Structure 1
């Protein structure tokens, strides 16, 4: 690797939730750890989130709230609802999720023993457990027993993500994990075998070369704020789509890994949301496209609904309500606009520019089903079925190209169940690991997503990466550099 400025056992690139967890586990396994963080402090996008961790298998919170769950049940749901090609990744996460919850609490991440049984995007109080995905909808409810798995860190004082990151960063400080901030990693160094043995980084305006005896963990976050990559990989996003994250979520880690022959996966995956609820009674309405047709069960997770809206003709969609359930969507950031009110369905169809009879047929079929308590077309669950027969009627424009759909990217570095970065042949690259939002997620599309399937697996596989890199036999970097540098 040539002349080095210093050498450590493990380098962790990034100090969001995955990086912090990786650093803790590597340090506890006996490795000398250096964290390089491009920003002026730790936390990343995780600190801005609502702090929801998707975990199950019988966590203490689930049990306290009266729910029975098992690792197999969690696996069955994830396997039914997501399309991750590596079954070992899904099973490893499902089987380790309960113990991972315990570990997070041991680090000081705050969770209460209370839950919320209604339908919400996130909780604004200190309750913890809520349903955050598609567990209750068909066909997934037929494959696994529906139980809530969204564990939101306590958010009565600050947002839950900040609560979680404060705890993890404090633990890193307490265990004296060395961190250099304002440090931009510009490249990965490899030896003649292709093994990753260090990094180049710009620190205080100067380039440094730092060796890693055992390996490097990339935990640099998503590419959500990289306009060029978003346009390349996510052409269905509209000009009104709004990225969620921090400025450093620019996909830098993807470029680092590609330069050493690492593979990317699921780059066209995105979770977008502009939820129609709360209030939850709006779920009793129907959502139709520009042709007056329903296209998804309205009680689906808000990201699944958005995924279908994105694919509709002209990306147009309307939320239809009658006077009995009328209310304004409370997600102000979504900016769903009330179009108008009409005395009859026919007048509404004409006002929305739909072909004569199309919306009337949709409403008639839906109302018959709702009266019978069975949605024959999309299997919407009975608690959300109500005939829409109490005029006047109203329509909100929830089109993908008009409302503000906030999004995060799901694609990234291809990794295995041990958080090892894979090459084009599906083989691990020696000395290189990745976790968090820079890695391809378990859910590959917004239709598969559940809130918490970023923080949950991100922190879980961050820990995995830390343990694996610390146990990596590594190489004797010191044998290739002058003795005075090896002593650093």
Structure 2
């Protein structure tokens, strides 16, 4: 899983190469927002990126932010939302919700949207009403979760919260990072590329007081924002063994868990490390949502109108992770994304049963029961939304294989370091590690699994909690830390430890 090394002591190397109020490790969205937040709070900031350019996995995204509570885009497009409704929804879909974080995120959502626009991000005041993975154009808002899916639609009044920047999906994430990198430059934040942190530095009390990398060292409070661990095969196998068998990693090479391992080296605890997002979406086109999804026993197990991540999680949980999407000729279309495999077509349901290896009569009974209820636009079994309920009676029938291996699943990890709502890293006993913060994919904040994830959660929580961590680090450790270092004078020099200072 990578060698976990203990933090260095300040006496383990000759002297601090430089000092800052806040040191941010990683230049994805969480790191960028942490650095900007700290700088806006008056801190001297050093931003360290291990690669040669900003972006990280954030630059690969479609550019969605999960925000609500009455944002300008929601208001202009006629969608009522409230802080209370947004929080209630996120608490309902999250297995073990961190209520404090969720409520802070929702309470500040409108202000955070306005802050993002102030950084140079642009959101079109428009709405895409269709069921899709991402808006086909530059529309600023769409449904990106399970808000309209039973039972959530009955628990909380639904509202769309998937805000996408004004760029085509293929360039959304890169546009986000372009704008934030430009803001980092305007603020005069010191950025170092090809600076891979290899050790935290902590004093005798365990307080983190800086970082070390090949060729440099810096004193200051530390915000870890170095990405998730989806590219670390050993960590994925150890923490998410079941999902790991079913998806191709979606990320960048630096998503190797470095930030998490650095935090652990200082005594940081982790949370929800078994959590992962995965998908093999069969929609768009939305027409396919009229079909039914069955397991190898021919039984339905998930409402077909669910967000694609929820459907994927439900498929993986089935016996042998086997599932099929069944459609009749009236709803037979080809998926726009090449992720699921068409199996075959059959003139009768009985023949389809045999062709798929489903027990005799099981699929026939499932479709008969579904069609009887669908005639009334009703789904008593799983609560499928009436918009997508139509009897499947027009043969021939076709099947798409949703089974991992036949279908192509992609995914990423969701767990990370345990933190407070201000990003301070916690120990296993709940105490705080002074001087250490974490945000983004190397921290556990809101999203925990496929059921609770909505498109835009990563950029939303990464930007918000990253910014919050930067501000808190600046306020708690900024001028005080500088004064302490100035008062202490030059550190005692000693012969450098070449094992720790190679390249200096």
Q: TM-score range by the shorter chain?
A: over 0.9
> How many angstroms does 1:201 deviate by?
0.9
Among 304, 307, 310, the alignment partner of 1:301 is 307
The reply on whether 1:437 has 2:441 as its aligned counterpart is yes
Partners of 1:83 and 1:442 within 8 A in 2: no
Which whole-Å deviations, capped at 9, do the CAs of 1:42-81 have from their partners, x for residues lacking one? 1111111100000000000000110011111111111111
CA distance in 1, matches of 2:433, 2:440: 18
Instruction: Report what 1:175 is aligned to.
Output: 187
CA distance in 2, matches of 1:243, 1:477: 43
Instruction: Report what 1:330 is aligned to.
Output: 336
SS at match of 1:309: helix
CA distance in 1, matches of 2:350, 2:447: 40
CA distance in 1, matches of 2:491, 2:367: 80
Partners of 1:315 and 1:401 within 8 A in 2: no
Among 352, 356, 361, the alignment partner of 1:357 is 361
Partners of 1:240 and 1:402 within 8 A in 2: no
Among 463, 467, 478, the alignment partner of 1:463 is 467
The reply on whether 1:210 has 2:218 as its aligned counterpart is yes
Instruction: Report what 1:412 is aligned to.
Output: 416
> How many angstroms does 1:328 deviate by?
1.2
SS at match of 2:180: helix
Q: How does 1:271-282 map to 2 (within 5 A)?
A: 271-282=277-288
Among 85, 91, 97, the alignment partner of 1:73 is 85
Instruction: Report what 1:28 is aligned to.
Output: 40
CA distance in 1, matches of 2:88, 2:169: 36
- Of 468-477 and 241-250, more deviation after overlay is shown by 468-477
Give the TM-score of the pair, scaled to structure 1.
0.95
SS at match of 2:212: strand
Among 49, 73, 83, the alignment partner of 1:37 is 49
Among 79, 87, 104, the alignment partner of 2:99 is 87
Which whole-Å deviations, capped at 9, do the CAs of 1:263-306 have from their partners, x for residues lacking one? 11101101101111000010000000111110010000000000
CA distance in 1, matches of 2:400, 2:170: 32
CA distance in 1, matches of 2:341, 2:491: 69
CA distance in 2, matches of 1:238, 1:393: 32
- Of 57-66 and 156-165, more deviation after overlay is shown by 156-165
Partners of 2:62 and 2:169 within 8 A in 1: no
The reply on whether 1:260 has 2:257 as its aligned counterpart is no
SS at match of 1:372: coil
SS at match of 2:105: helix
Q: Which runs of 5+ in 1 are unaligned?
A: none
SS at match of 2:223: strand
Among 212, 216, 221, the alignment partner of 1:200 is 212
> How many angstroms does 1:441 deviate by?
3.8
- Of 111-120 and 466-475, more deviation after overlay is shown by 466-475
> How many angstroms does 1:237 deviate by?
2.9
Partners of 1:219 and 1:253 within 8 A in 2: yes
CA distance in 2, matches of 1:354, 1:240: 22
CA distance in 2, matches of 1:91, 1:240: 33
Which whole-Å deviations, capped at 9, do the CAs of 1:304-325 have from their partners, x for residues lacking one? 0000001111111101000000
The reply on whether 1:348 has 2:356 as its aligned counterpart is no
Partners of 1:238 and 1:400 within 8 A in 2: no
SS at match of 2:331: coil
> How many angstroms does 1:400 deviate by?
2.1
> How many angstroms does 1:29 deviate by?
1.2
CA distance in 2, matches of 1:65, 1:86: 30
CA distance in 1, matches of 2:65, 2:464: 10
CA distance in 2, matches of 1:484, 1:172: 34
The reply on whether 1:234 has 2:240 as its aligned counterpart is yes
Give the TM-score of the pair, scaled to structure 2.
0.92
> How many angstroms does 1:209 deviate by?
2.4
Among 149, 153, 159, the alignment partner of 1:147 is 159
